Amino acid sequence: MESKPFQYDCLKAVLKHMDANLRFELSARVPAIQKTEKIVPLKINRLYFSSPYEFEVNNTIYKFGTYRNYIGNEIVPKHQIENENGGFAGDLDEFGNEDNSSIGIVTPGDLIFHDESFHMGFPRSLHSFESKERELKVLEALLAEKQGKSVKPIKITDRDYRILNSYKNSSVDYKTPAIPLTKRRSSSTIHKDDSVYNCPFKWA
C-alpha cells in the first residue's frame, strides 16, 4: 500500500498534540517537517534547568558534554568514565585544559540561568598557564616516586602540598591530569580526530 505524506494542515494538527521530546527527535530525523515543526506552538509540561549543561523536558534529561575521542591511543580511565556519562561538563581549550573563559559572555539569543552557587569564569591568563606548568612538575615528581624512580628535589609550596594530598592517597591515574599540560608544553594542539568534541547526551 502506497503511503502518502501528511498534508500541511494535518501535519500541524498532529505536531500540536505530540510530546515535545518526540517532536525534537522526529524533527532531527525528518528534515522535511522542520519548517512546519518550528511554526507549530510547542507544549511543555515541565522545563527545568539543573545546570548550564543539563536540562529536563517532560521527564527527559538532556545533557551537553565534551566527548574525548582518542584515535590509535588507549583512552585514559577518567576520560572513559566521563564519556560514558555524557562527556565532560564544560569547555576545553586546544590543549585539553578546562576553559571557562566563555562563561558569562552573552550572545544574541542566549538565556543565562544561574543561582548564587554559580561562579563566573575568568579569562585565561599567563598566570593560570604558569600555575598549570607548576602542577605538571608536581604530578611528574609524584608519578616518578610511585614508580620507584629517583626524583629531582623541587621546592614545595602550600599549593603543591594540596595537589599532592589530593592525589597521593588515591588510586587515580596520575597521568590523566598531566595530558593537557604536556601537550601545551610541547606546543602541540590535539589532532582533530584525537581530541574532543561537543555532543548532546540524552537519558530517556
Give the model confidence (pLDDT) of 74-86 as tens digits.
777 888 888 888 8
- Cα–Cα distance for residue pair 182/180, rounded to 1 Å: 6
Cell numbers standing for residue 41: 506552538
Please give the tally of structural domains in the chain: 1
Residue for grid cell 590509535: 72
Cell numbers standing for residue 18: 505530540
Give domain status of residue 113, yes or no: yes
Give domain status of residue 9, yes or no: no
Give domain status of residue 15, yes or no: no
Give domain status of residue 21, yes or no: no
Residues of the chain whose pLDDT is less than 70? 1-4, 73, 102-104, 111-132, 134, 142, 145-146, 151-204
Residue for grid cell 591568563: 125
Give domain status of residue 19, yes or no: no
- Cα–Cα distance for residue pair 162/126, rounded to 1 Å: 21
Predicted pLDDT at 162: 66
**Residue 66 contacts by C-beta under 8 Å, 6 or more apart in sequence?**
87, 88, 89, 90, 91, 92, 196, 197, 198, 199
* Residue-range definition of the domain harbouring residue 144: 44-187+197-203
Q: Quick check: pTM over 0.75? A: no
Buried b (16+ CB within 10 A) or exposed e, 103-139: beeeeeeeeeeeeeeeeeeeeeeeeeeeebebbbebb
Give domain status of residue 150, yes or no: yes
Q: Please report, to the nearest 10 degrees, the dihedral formed by the alpha carbons of residues 83, 116, 159, 168 taken in order.
A: -40
Predicted pLDDT at 201: 41
Predicted pLDDT at 159: 64
Predicted pLDDT at 74: 75
**Residue 151 contacts by C-beta under 8 Å, 6 or more apart in sequence?**
141, 144, 145
Give domain status of residue 72, yes or no: yes
Predicted pLDDT at 129: 61
- Cα–Cα distance for residue pair 81/75, rounded to 1 Å: 10
Give domain status of residue 128, yes or no: yes
State the DSSP code for 92.
B
